[in-house]
Structure formats: C-alpha cells, structure tokens
Structure 1
Amino acid sequence: MPLPPLYALRAFEAAARLGSFSKAAELLNVTPGAISRHIRTLEQWFECELFRRHGPRVEISDAGRALASQLSDGFQSLELACEAFSRRRHELRLKAPSTLTLRWLLAALKNHAIPPVELASVWMDTDSVDFQREPYDCAILLGDGHFGAGTESRLLFEEWLIPICSPALVATARRQLADGELIHPSPDRRDWRRWLKRTQQHPHLNIARGKVFDTLEHGYLAAIGGHGVSVGDLLLSLDAIASGLLALPFNEAVSTGEGYWLVWPKGSPRAPSINTLYHGLVKAIPQPLPPSLIYLR
C-alpha cells in the first residue's frame, strides 16, 4: 500500500498532539488553513473523519486518536535518527590507546573548546591506524611522527619513562631494586631496558624476571596495588603521583625519542575540526614537567 503524503501526516500528528490547528501551524511554520487542508487530504486518503469540526473549534475523533498514537512513536523515532545522524556528522571519530585515554584523554576532552568527539579506545597500545579501512577521522598514536605517506601528524607531548611504585615500596626500591619485584608493562620488557640503558644504573638488574603485562595501564594498576616497581610515562603518571597513589623511587626520566601524536589523513575535510581538537588537547597537557627530576635524552 502506498503511503499518504508525509507532510500531511506531520501536520496531523502535530495538530493531534497539540490539540489545535493554530498551534500546529505555528510549530510547522505554515498557516492554520494549510494544516486544515493537509488533514482533509488524510481524511480522503483513509476515508474517515480524523477531526470533528465545531465551527472554529476542532476535536480529534476516535479514529484520529488511534492514528495519532501510532504516528507519534514513528515521528519520534525519525527525529531521534536525524538527531543522531546530524551529531555524527559533526563529531570527530578519534582512536586512542587505552592507557592514554584513561590516564589523560578523558579529562582533556572535557574542555569546552574541544569539538565533540566520538572516542574509540583500543586496549592494546597501538602505533598504527588504517584510515582507509578503519572508521576514524583521526587518531592519537605513539611513535616518532612518521605514520605513513598519506597522513599528517602533530606532536602532543614527548614520552618520558620513569620507574613508578606505591609509596610504601619507595624505600625498598631505592635501597636494593634487585631484591624487589619488577613489573613489565610490555611483553618485550623494553621499558625497563630503555631506562636502565640510558641511566647506567643497576647494571646487574635481571630484567628477565618479574610480572609481565600487555599495556602500560596494567603496569600502572599493578604498581598502585603494591605488586612491584613498574615503568610508566611521566606525564600520564602525574595525577596518580599527586593523589598519593604512586611515587617515584628514582629521579631520572628517560626520553624514548617517541611521543604521542595526533594523526589524520592528508587532505581530510575534517582538518579544521582536527586542528581545533589539537589546540584544545595541547592546552590540557600539564606544563611544565617537574623541575626536580633529571631528564636524560
């Protein structure tokens, strides 16, 4: 069965909901006469009376009330669908690593100067994105700034690694790190290896031992729980340090030569919004880093 004209259904639904042709006309920005004509169209279509006319007064009929109850849900669904579609067109779809999301990004996105963002957080820390196959407008990736010929990137902040532990373990770690439990936030144990190589400390520390996790976030949680000494990103650790959940047993922070970059496809039509996002995120980065530490490049 073909559908009656949508404009007539919309006019009828508004008049039935508001109980007035005049109010429906005001809502839809037409004349009361247009509302009346649209409803007449529907009455001819369905071959029944939808409104009873009493001079200038109108009253919905039983048939009209039955139709209105069905249309109301339908138009509400249409409005919600259109609203969701419009919102998606204006939202940036952002991919970001889990640790960065939980330790900094969620708070940073509360900045009202940042455009609306639909966030997808990946639980395995990642240094790649395929904008041809993945449904993202941009991503925050850990790396050296080179993420493929078809991308553009801007640095958010550098990665500085530093040992972290619960405050209760600081004294033990400083006195004899080799006797404590190590936490490795990556399966290849690269974080401890990088820190030890650059600082030239604890040359006999056996990094083959200790607890091994898949992400920095797991390393943070294990350290907060007092399960050993981990290595974390200094900036992403600052809130937990300030709140007393974590402490720094050593003063040396080591640069990995990498950082967290905002990355997007070259020629993206969303570039203006991505640029606004970038500047908003930069303003949310804690500055400066603690001056009491020794920074080794």
Structure 2
Amino acid sequence: MERLPPLNAIKAFEVAARAGSFTLAATELGVSSAAVSQQVRNLETWFGKQLFVRSGNRIALTDAGHAIYPQTARALGDIAAIGRRMLEGGLRTRLVVSVPFSLAELWLAPRLAVLLDAFPQMAIDVRVEDDPVDVVRQNIDLRISYGDYHYPALRMVRLVHDDVLPVCAPDFWQRYGDGASSLAEVHESLFIHTNWGPNYASHPTWADWFTASGGNRSPDPSHGRRVGLSSLAIASARLGLGIALGQRVMARADLEAGRLIALSSVSVRLGQPYCAFMPSAKAERADIAELVALLSKTAPLAWEPRAPQDRI
C-alpha cells in the first residue's frame, strides 16, 4: 500500500486553508491554534513543501498549497460521504439542495416537481441562501450558484447561461404601451430595474439592452421601479407594475401561459452561467444526476415577441 500523508494533518490543513486562519481552524476543530499550526508543519515536513506563507496572525496559501487544496477537500468530502452512507445503512432518504433566492421559486421548484414524479418517496430539503456556503460541513448534496468560480474543490456542471429580454403583462401594454411606437418612447417610470446587490457587477441593465438593440437610451433607475431579486422583477411585471428585463429561464412559464408577453426578441446574456456544484462522491447518485439533467434542459420558448417587437 502506498504511503499516506498523516490524515489529522490533512484535516488541519484543509480547515486552515478554507478558514484562512489557524485560529478559526482551531475553533472549528476544537483544538488550540498551536496544535493546528503544528499539524500543518508536520504535513509540510511530510511533503517537503511550504504550504502557507505566515505573516503574524495571517496566513496565505503558497503555490504548493493551492496545488493540493482542491484534492484534499474532495478527499475529505468523499470520506465524510462514506461515513454518512454507512451510518444511514446505505439508504438515502433526503436530497439537500442549496439555491440562491432568485432561482428557488420560478426555476428550481417546477423542476423538483418533475423530479418527484421519478422519485415519489424522496424527501427534499431546499435551502435558500447566498454564496458562499459550506457544502461539505452542511451536508449539502447540490449547490446551485451564479458563476463557475465559487467552489473549486467540488465537481461542477454548467447548467445554463441565461439571458434577459423585456417582458410585461398583456394588460399593462394595452394600458400604457399601445400609444408608443417603440420601447424608446416608454416613460422612464414604467421600467423595472433589478438590483443584484453589491457582490455582483456582471448583470445586464436596461442601458445594455438598448445598446444591444441599436439604441442609446439609458433609463434612470431612480425614476423607475426597483426590486432586489430577478424573480421579484418577473412577479412585478406579471402583476402589471411595469416592464422588466426578465430572465428567460424564470419567465418561461409565464410567457408560455400568456401571463407575460415579450416586447422584443433582442436579449442580453448574463455575465456568468448558472452552475451546479456537488461533492465528487455524490455526483453519480441517481437523484442528483436526474436533477442536474432537468436543470440543464433549455428547450426553446413557445412564444413570439409582441408589439412593439424589435423596434427600439
């Protein structure tokens, strides 16, 4: 059998690298920070490589530390999964899915309904939370995130690279839009703006959409309606509160049912794709593989743009 590095030292290294601090790692492990530091030194001696740069109470991974961290995190996650599976007697009774707020109702929930047709006895735990989350420690089976960079130690599958297009309720357009020959003539107060929050800068705005359409208008968010979630922008448009830049995957059901109409076929792509992350040991599980397949499906929408169509 090949020589294995000391497992306690591997655990101390993984927690310290994830926490960015020997002190925080000590708190998680229930030992002293000196004990964590000693375990890391033991591992550095075993590898013959320095894994952290130490500067007072601060630590940072070296190139060697970055090289081994993803594999150590995956390996410890796999070991934890084996332990849970054995303790559960080989029977899995619950699927734990973690998802951002905007995706939970309009995108994830309909696909979970399809999944339950295939696995009717499955118990599902949906956790709605922002990145980052500790997938391994919280025993999360599948994390859905905006962007492909959050969890380098986990298996990743790109699900969909969504886009946005202008949508509103049919009655709203009849009341407020019929007199306009283009979206460029719509009053600024009728636009719905989505505020993604301080952590995001790659989401398209109304100014981006007008540029993509060949125009140069830039509606002022302070003169319109502003919401804090993409799903809330679509709900607001459905309720006749204005015209939203609706995400295609979230607006699909409303568009196909006629609760929303698309005012143009011009769309703008989001800056990042939506991705699924999971521990490697869970990636081949039937329920998880089925859900990932459902989330990856992006069949064309059965709709046609309504007036004013592609005129800006």
After superposition, give the CA deviation of every residue in 1:157-190 in whole Å (9 maximum; x if it has no partner). 2211111111133335635124442212225595
| Structural mapping, 1:89-108, within 5 Å | 89-108=92-111
Q: Deviations over 1:18-67 (max 9, x none)?
A: xxxxxxxxxxxxxxxxxxxxxxxxxxxxxxxxxxxxxxxxxxxxxxxxxx
- Is the alpha carbon distance of 1:223 and 1:243 closer, same or farther for their aligned partners in structure 2, counting shifts above 3 Å? same
Q: 1:63 matched to which residue of 2?
A: none
Distance in 1 (CA, whole Å) between partners of 2:215 and 2:123 is: 43
Find out whether 1:177 has 2:186 as its counterpart: yes
Q: Which amino acid aligns with 2:193?
A: H
Q: Distance in 1 between matches of 2:138 and 2:239?
A: 36
What pairs with 1:132-281 in structure 2 (closer than 5 Å)? 132-143=136-147, 145-170=148-173, 171-172=177-178, 174=182, 176-186=185-195, 190-192=203-205, 193-265=207-279, 267-269=280-282, 271-273=284-286, 274-281=288-295
Please report how far the alpha carbon of residue 259 of structure 1 lies from its aligned counterpart in structure 2 after TM superposition: 2.2
d(CA) in 1 for partners of 2:284 and 2:230? 30
- Which runs of 5 or more residues in structure 1 are unaligned? 1-84
- Return the alpha-carbon distance in structure 2 between the equivalents of residues 254 and 155 of structure 1: 19
Matches of 2:150 and 2:170, distance apart in 1: 38
Question: Is the radius of gyration larger for structure 1 or structure 2?
Answer: 1
The alpha carbon displacement at 1:202 in A equals 4.3
Classify 1:201/1:130 alpha carbon distance in 2 versus 1 (closer, same or farther; 3 Å).
farther
SS state at 2:281 partner: coil
1:128 pairs with 2:137: no
Percent identity (aligned): 20
Give the number of equivalent residue pairs.
Answer: 205
- 1:135 Cα offset (Å): 3.6
Q: Which amino acid aligns with 1:268?
A: A
- Structure 1 residue 154: deviation in Å? 0.9
SS in 1 for 2:108: helix
TM-score by length of 1: 0.58
For each residue in 1:106-138, what CA deviation from the matched residue of structure 2 results, as whole angstroms up to 9, or x when unmatched? 22122334683523242x6x4533214434111
Letter in 2 for 1:275: A
Instruction: Give unpaired runs (5+ residues) of structure 2.
Output: 1-87
CA shift in 2, pair 1:153/1:203, >3 Å: same
TM-score (ref. length: structure 2): 0.56
